[in-house]
Amino acid sequence: MSARLHAGPGRALEIAAAWLLGFLWLFPLLYAVWAAFHPSQAAIRFDVFSPLTLDNFARAWSLAPFDRYFFNTFVLVTLILVVQLVLCTLAAYAFARYEFFGKNVAFALVLLQLMIMPEILIVENYRTMSALGLVDSILAIGLPYMASAFGIFLLRQTFKTIPKELEEAARIEGCTDLMILWKVFVPLARPTYLAYGLVSISYHWNNFLWPLIITNSVTTRPLTVGLAIFGAPESGVDWSVISAGTLMAVAPLLVAFLLFQRQFVQSFMRAGIR
């Protein structure tokens, strides 16, 4: 960490600029919070001293099935994360510890998904899902993301740093391959799992395009899609209520972020450095 000791007006100006930028970056969220707690007339006139109210939240909650959307998103995010963790662990273990025919080609093919993400392949994946009869199901939202190249890559890197001696010691103790994976590799890779988990949860909590395409009913729609329908100008809902709905949708992730800021930042950092 570099700590400079500057002084003078240049330094003061720089601090002011850093603060101003921070304010600008936080402003939309602050504004949404302010609008959500004030009557809608105040938002339009930007009347700072109008009375506080919770009406907007009550109205938003009654105007759209947010409880169902929350449930759907929760199921979706959990389903994706659990399957991702299992599949990526197994595949990463294969890449880190086994010599098999076609390993390098297979690894290159896995990495291809870092470039060609499921978002790009919406047309064909939709056809596949209709052929499978899965359109409008939570499973269909998750399927294209479950084998994550990113997760495989990240875990493989971690597994490769685990010393061979540990593995051999476990083998002498009579552990099978899968037991070694479970008792040696998985516990030692815990920070990577945490990092990957946080990134995956935030990604899928926020994901929109594919869920929009593949769902068409209240029983499957995640929060983001529900929010988009709710906030559409055609719905005629006023601005303060939209703010309240928007805040409700982002609240769980935002609160988690504010509480575990350090873990979030470090996770994103760890996940990005390859």
Partner 1 sequence: MRIGGPVAIRNQVYGWLLLTPAAFLLVAFTHYPAVATLAQSFFTQGTALHPSKFIEFENYRFMFDDPVFWKVFRNNAIYSSITVPTSIAFAILMAIWVNEKLPLRGLVRMAYFTPTILPMIAVANIWLFFYTPEIGLLDQILGRFGFQSPNWLGNTDTVLGCVIVLAIWKDAGFFMIFYLAALQSLPVELEEAARLEGASRWYYFRRVTFPLLMPTTLFVMINSLINSFKLIDHLFILTKGGPDNASSLLLYYIYEVAFSFLDQAYASTLTVVLLALLALLAVGQFTILDKRIHYR
Instruction: Identify whether the C-beta of residue 222 lies closer than 8 Å to the C-beta of residue 73.
Output: yes
What whole-number distance in Å separates Cα of residue 204 and Cα of residue 138? 12
Instruction: Identify whether the C-beta of residue 267 lies closer than 8 Å to the C-beta of residue 199.
Output: yes
Q: Is 127 in the site for partner 1 (CB under 8 A)?
A: yes
Q: Which stretch binds partner 1 (CB under 8 A): 51-59, 63-71, 112-120, 157-165?
A: 112-120
The distance of closest approach from Cβ of residue 218 to partner 1 in the complex, given in angstroms and rounded to an integer, is 17
Radius of gyration from C-alpha coordinates of the chain: 24
Q: Is 131 in the site for partner 1 (CB under 8 A)?
A: no
Q: Is 274 in the site for partner 1 (CB under 8 A)?
A: yes
- Pick one of 63, 75, 79, 106: the residue that binds partner 1 (CB under 8 A): 106
Distances (CA, A) of 187 to 29, 148, 190, 198, 207: 38, 20, 5, 17, 29
- Pick one of 63, 79, 94, 188: the residue that binds partner 1 (CB under 8 A): 94
Tokens for 224? Answer: 């983001």
Instruction: Identify whether the C-beta of residue 214 lies closer than 8 Å to the C-beta of residue 36.
Output: no
> How many helices and strands in the chain, by DSSP H and E?
16, 0
- Pick one of 13, 54, 82, 116: the residue that binds partner 1 (CB under 8 A): 116
Q: Is 135 in the site for partner 1 (CB under 8 A)?
A: no
3-state SS class at 220: coil
Instruction: Identify whether the C-beta of residue 159 lies closer than 8 Å to the C-beta of residue 92.
Output: yes
Q: Is 93 in the site for partner 1 (CB under 8 A)?
A: yes
Residue type, 168: E
What whole-number distance in Å separates Cα of residue 263 and Cα of residue 252? 16
What whole-number distance in Å separates Cα of residue 143 and Cα of residue 3? 47
Pattern 193-232, binding to partner 1, x per CB under 8 A?
A: ---------x--xx-xx--xx---------xx--xx--xx
Count of residues near partner 1 by CB under 8 A: 93
The distance of closest approach from Cβ of residue 18 to partner 1 in the complex, given in angstroms and rounded to an integer, is 4
Q: What is the largest CA-CA distance in the chain?
A: 75
Q: Is 82 in the site for partner 1 (CB under 8 A)?
A: no
- Identify residues 136-175 at the interface with partner 1 (CB under 8 A): 143-144, 146-147, 149, 152
Residue type, 136: D
- Pick one of 49, 100, 174, 217: the residue that binds partner 1 (CB under 8 A): 100
Q: Is 110 in the site for partner 1 (CB under 8 A)?
A: yes
Pattern 230-259, binding to partner 1, x per CB under 8 A?
A: -xx------x--xx--x--xx--xx--xx-
- Identify residues 11-70 at the interface with partner 1 (CB under 8 A): 14-15, 18-19, 21-26, 28-29, 31-32, 35, 43-44, 46
- Pick one of 54, 112, 179, 259: the residue that binds partner 1 (CB under 8 A): 112
